[in-house]
A and B are shown apart, each in its own frame.
Chain A
Amino acid sequence: NAGVMQNPRHLVRRRGQEARLRCSPMKGHSHVYWYRQLPEEGLKFMVYLQKENIIDESGMPKERFSAEFPKEGPSILRIQQVVRGDSAAYFCASSPGNRQETQYFGPGTRLLVL
């Protein structure tokens, strides 16, 4: 059973460009969480999605950031008009859905904004 997959693993963008980060959850998992890890900091929750629904986006910046989890395909975290402060590691985690279930983390996408 393949684990959570994220791509790309590394992404370099110039200020003002768009970044698209993809997350494929583990087989059988329909719940996806996105977290951001800024340098020298812990992980911060961004958004929680189920298939075709955003359940909790309380951690998402109000502007430039969006997320989706379509019926088919991976979950996408999209950052428009990136700024240097967006440079971070972005982790996706998936779970089967029960709130007690473990969240399984992907390897992360490391975004560098020049």
Chain B
Amino acid sequence: AQSVTQLDSQVPVFEEAPVELRCNYSSSVSVYLFWYVQYPNQGLQLLLKYLSGSTLVKGINGFEAEFNKSQTSFHLRKPSVHISDTAEYFCAVSDYGSGNTGKLIFGQGTTLQVKP
């Protein structure tokens, strides 16, 4: 069975500082990896995804993530955060084995709190 672990439930950071949100997964098959952002009382918006190819993936709003197969990690980074980045961030996986239905398995979420 697949699982996703987001190692930090809350990450406080000052504006313009760099940030890393950690995500580890476990799966017996190859996976697709995703990061979504959720603003208060809204749905989820895709930040970026890894399907194949380059392990460094660039997304919207200046975010990027690096897929590390040996460490089964997909950490999200941004070199300089803004107040507007304050939100809940979810890491998710989807396997692409035969019979896969594309359902997403989510981590518990990490609350990014950007302080002025």
Could you tell me which A residues sit within 8 Å of B by CB distance?
4, 6, 31, 33, 35, 41-45, 48, 55-56, 59, 91, 93, 95, 99-108, 110
List 10 tightest A-B contacts by C-beta distance, closest first.
Answer: A105-B43, A42-B106, A105-B44, A56-B101, A99-B102, A45-B103, A43-B106, A107-B43, A42-B108, A48-B101
The answer to the question of B24 belonging to the interface, with a C-beta cut-off of 8 Å to chain A, is: no
Contact residue among B46, B96, B100, B103 (Cβ-Cβ distance under 8 Å from A59): B103
Given contacts A99-B96, A102-B49, contact A56 B43 (CB under 8 A): no
Could you tell me which B residues sit within 8 Å of A by CB distance?
4, 32, 36, 41-46, 49, 51, 90, 94, 96, 100-109
Cα distance, A93 to B44, chains bound together (Å): 9
Cα distance, A93 to B104, chains bound together (Å): 10
